[in-house]
Amino acid sequence: MIRLGVDTGGTFTDVVCYDRESGTVRVTKSPSTPPRFDEGVLNGIDKIRDIVGFDPGDVSYLSHGTTVGTNAVLENDLPDIGLITNDGLRDVLEIGDQTRPALYDLQVEKPPSLVPRRLRRGVPGRLDSRGNEVDPLDEAAVRAEVDHLVDEGVESIVVSMLFSYLNERHERRVGELIEAHDADVAWTRSSAVHPESREYDRTITTVLNEAVKTTVEEYFTRLDAGIAERDLDVPLNVMHSGGGIFSTDQAIKHAIRTVVSGPSAGATAAREVTRAEGLENAIGIDMGGTSADVSIVRDGEIVRSTEGEINDLPVKTPMVEINTVGAGGGSIAWLDEGGALRVGPESAGADPGPVCYGNGGERPTVTDANLLLGRINPSYFLDGEMDLAVERTRDRFTTAIADPLDLSVEAAAQSVVDVANASLAREIRRVTVERGQSPGEFVLVAFGGAGPLQAPAIAADMDMDAAIIPQNPGVFSARGLLLADVRIDESQAYHAETLAVGPLARQFDDLEATLLDRFADQAVDPDEVMLSRHVDMRYEGQSYEIAVPVDPPVDEASVETAVERFHEEHARLYGHARRGEPVAAVTLRASGEVETPPLADRTDDTEADPSKGTREVYFDDEIHDTAVYDRTALSPGRTIEGPAVLEEPGSTSLVPSGTIATVTDSGNVRVELTD
């Protein structure tokens, strides 16, 4: 049986293939083919089939990470959509939260409103904050506005009205009137897509969903046809931003969830490593050429949030909490006008790349610094596929950094690495503390081409106990595609004046029924679905919520437990709980998962000699003769004392002096940081 994962990026499409019989994972790359990305996906599938030589009938699992929805938003390549909302409030979508995206940037622009003003129409009809009608819906006005929007040629109409998450009657009625129109125009309502409080967030989320739907639908229709042509008799699973997979039908209906789904594969892979190592808490750092994506695993589960954004627009569907830092191997080191050494955010990227690539890069980068410190093997680097201009790198480094700072080249290079690590450490700390975590409670799982070199130093900065470097770190994130569980999330604002068991239980029942319907649409047996329930709670008067789990069955005891969890979590996150204060329930969340079995590609003991001699590597202000190992020849259980360098195709890992690295049973390298 074969599992296939295809991950489309801007330049390359990564294909990963797991063969259960041989226990091997194979990886290949083929060029992406914008704007028809489906062709690149199919080319990639053809290529891996040729390499591995499997029979299409043996493929039992196929999953795909795509950026077509993301690109549509980033390029603002969206169809004409109309909006019907409350009279007097049509500009909510353009006003947004009334802030400028950057405080000190006088030339900044607001995020696009997605629907131009002439296509945003208000109609009389109003509900109050308890969902009761204040003014009846003016149906004549609705008909007139639908006529107007149809005349304007909109592809679809979004209906979004105040408090529809409490009472959808007005929105539904507008929909009926749209359907009654001869033009047969598509429509959707905010109470169906994102039934939660806060009108701007709900409206923009609904509009975004509708706007990318067409693009996503066309894309998957073509792709599904291509897959069928190749005799792959397996449903295509789509990676979504929540760190799970769902069917193409679901991906079309909930198109917004395919947006910013790229990094969730890496987070999924990080979760697998965390669990395989018997750990609860980890921070995943996927560091490539230009940036690093930081994700969090807590209590064995990926940390998700509903506070994502794309293009400065809020996206309020559950998504893997990913934060991106502009620090990667290609980040450029420079001296600012005050004489301080800075790293990034500018990157040399892949072209021209670092100086040492010899492709015309003139400005020193983090990768160049690592080369000069002896941490990267000039001949082994990138599997010997590129010639390194070591001398040239040294010259450029000397002129640009070392001489102006009056430092040796090695000391200057060490400083560049330290500065890059400090900015990563700050970001990791920021994203963890904003979520109420303390970084010291985590281990670091570092991957991507550049992550394993920096990992131990960053982990030490964060007071972590260990850094873990998975197998094949350079292509680790694609592995997540083979591991992702089928996952569907549903949410609904809680309706009732106070937190009470009766309404809570009833509303959860409704939510779960909707959720299981969606699984049934994917032909999943409801008995296979693992359900989880959360309530977003807050103290009355607050506007920030904390999601706490509610155990089944939903009754007095489980609600009491959930409220207690809320107090505890509030105290843990914010230093105080207010147990006397009333607690409000804001949003109910139900998630269902069908687990995808883990991969069993553990490394076997090898007979090969891992030792590759020694090399001069700069550590702790001096040059040490440092042992170099072939990572792929290290057997499980092997320990290595730092300083040492572990080399493998596509990545190099560092074991600093004073630390001990162990190859675990799962084949990961765990670097123990002793104080």
Residues 574-603 that bind other proteins (CB under 8 A): 574-576, 578, 581
As measured in angstroms, the least distance from the Cβ of 423 to other proteins is 6
Restricted to residues 250-269, the positions that interact with other proteins (CB under 8 A) are: none
Size of the site for other proteins (CB under 8 A): 73
> In whole angstroms, how close is the CB of 421 to other proteins at the nearest point?
8
First to last CA, the chain: 46
Question: Is 340 an interacting residue with respect to other proteins (CB under 8 A)?
Answer: yes
- Measure the CA–CA gap between 218 and 77, rounded to whole angstroms: 14
Q: b/e per residue, 138-162, with b = 16+ CB within 10 A?
A: eeebbbebbeebbeeebebbbbbbb
Nearer to other proteins, 3 or 90 (CB): 90
Helix 390-397 and helix 409-434: axis angle, to 10°?
Answer: 80
Q: How far is the CB of 266 from other proteins (least distance, A)?
A: 24
Window of 25-33, 287-295, 330-338, 520-528 that interacts with other proteins by CB under 8 A: 330-338
Query: Which parts of 184-203 interact with other proteins (CB under 8 A)?
Result: 197-201
Contact indicator for 639, 630 with CB cutoff of 8 Å = no
Contact between 234 and other proteins (CB under 8 A)? no
Task: Give 199 or 489: the residue with its C-beta nearer to other proteins.
Answer: 199
**Which whole-number Å values give the CA distances from 595 to 53, 275, 508, 526, in the listed order?**
28, 14, 22, 13
Nearer to other proteins, 203 or 664 (CB): 203
Out of 341, 350, 531, 633, the only residue in the binding site for other proteins (CB under 8 A) is 341
Burial bucket for residue 496 (CB in 10 Å: 0-12, 13-18, 19+): middle
Q: Which two tokens stand for residue 100?
A: 């400028």
Pick the stretch among 17-25, 105-113, 313-321, 384-392 that binds other proteins (CB under 8 A): 105-113
Helix/strand/coil for 633: helix
Which candidate, 295, 237, 248, places its Cα nearest to that of 268?
295
Smaller CB separation from other proteins, 405 or 633: 405
Least distance (Å) between residue 503 CB and other proteins: 17
Minimum distance, C-beta of residue 549 to other proteins, in the bound complex (Å)? 20
Least gap, CB of 609 to other proteins (angstroms): 35
Among 338, 502, 553, 613, binds other proteins (CB under 8 A): 338
Q: Which is nearer to other proteins, 339 or 502 (CB)?
A: 339
Number of H helices, E strands in the chain: 17, 35
Return the number of the residue (149 or 468) whose C-beta is nearest other proteins: 149
What CA–CA distance (Å, rounded) separates 62 from 213? Answer: 22
- Which of the stretches 70-78, 109-117, 465-473, 511-519 binds other proteins when contact is defined by CB under 8 A? 109-117
Task: Give the per-residue SS3 of 291-345.
Answer: CEEEEEEECCEECEECCEEECCEEECCCEECEEEECCCCCEEEEECCCCCEEEEE
Alpha-carbon distances of 472 from 8, 77, 171, 480, 665, rounded to whole Å:
19, 36, 51, 13, 15
Min CB(227)–other proteins separation in Å = 43
Distance of alpha carbon 653 from alpha carbon 669, whole angstroms? 9
Residues in the chain: 675
Cα 258 off chain centre by: 11
Q: What angle do CA 7, 10, 14 make, to 5 degrees?
A: 30
DSSP one-letter code for 258:
G
How many whole angstroms separate alpha carbon 432 and alpha carbon 419?
Answer: 20
Q: How far is the CB of 349 from other proteins (least distance, A)?
A: 22
Query: In the range 80-99, which residues lie near other proteins by CB under 8 A?
Result: 88-92, 94-99
Site for other proteins in 384-443 (CB under 8 A): 401, 405, 407, 411-412, 414-416, 418-419, 422-423, 425-426, 429-430, 433-434, 436
**CA-CA distance, 86 to 162, in Å (whole number)?**
7
**Given 24, 50, 76, 100, the residue binding other proteins (CB under 8 A):** 100
Whichever of 34 and 111 has its CB closer to other proteins, that residue is 111
DSSP per-residue string spanning 371-419: HHTT-S-TTTGGGGTS---HHHHHHHHIIIIIHHHT--HHHHHHHHHHH
Q: Of the two residues 66 and 415, which places its CB atom closer to other proteins in the complex?
A: 415
Q: Output the smallest distance, CB 505 to other proteins, in A.
A: 23
The yes or no reply on residue 151 touching other proteins (CB under 8 A) is: no
Q: Which tokens go with 493? A: 């604002």
Q: Name residues whose C-beta falls within 8 Å of residue 215's C-beta, 6 or more positions apart in sequence.
A: 68, 69, 72, 77, 78, 255
Enumerate residues 110-139 that contact other proteins by CB under 8 A.
110, 116-118, 126, 128-129, 134
CA angle 247, 253, 257 (to 5 degrees): 75
Tell which one of 21, 53, 55, 106 touches other proteins (CB under 8 A): 106
In the bound state with other proteins, the residue whose beta carbon lies nearer, of 298 and 479, is 298
Of the candidates 21, 53, 55, 104, which one interacts with other proteins according to CB under 8 A? 104
**Which residue, 16 or 89, is less far from other proteins as judged by CB?**
89
Q: How far is the CB of 403 from other proteins (least distance, A)?
A: 11
Contact call for residue 53 and other proteins (CB under 8 A): no
Under rule CB under 8 A, which residues in 539-578 are in contact with other proteins?
539, 541-544, 570, 573-576, 578
Q: Is residue 107 a contact point for other proteins (CB under 8 A)?
A: yes
* Residues in 628-667 at the binding interface with other proteins, rule: CB under 8 A: none
- Interaction between residue 161 and other proteins (CB under 8 A): no
Can you say whether the dihedral through the CA atoms of 214, 218, 219, 220 is positive or negative?
positive
* Cβ distance to other proteins smaller for residue 279 or 303: 303
Q: Cβ of residue 401: shortest distance to other proteins, in angstroms? A: 8
Residues 285-324, one symbol each (x = binds other proteins by CB under 8 A, - = not), give ----------------------------------------
Residues 504-543 binding other proteins (CB under 8 A) are 539, 541-543
Supply the minimum distance, in Å, between the C-beta of residue 89 and other proteins: 6
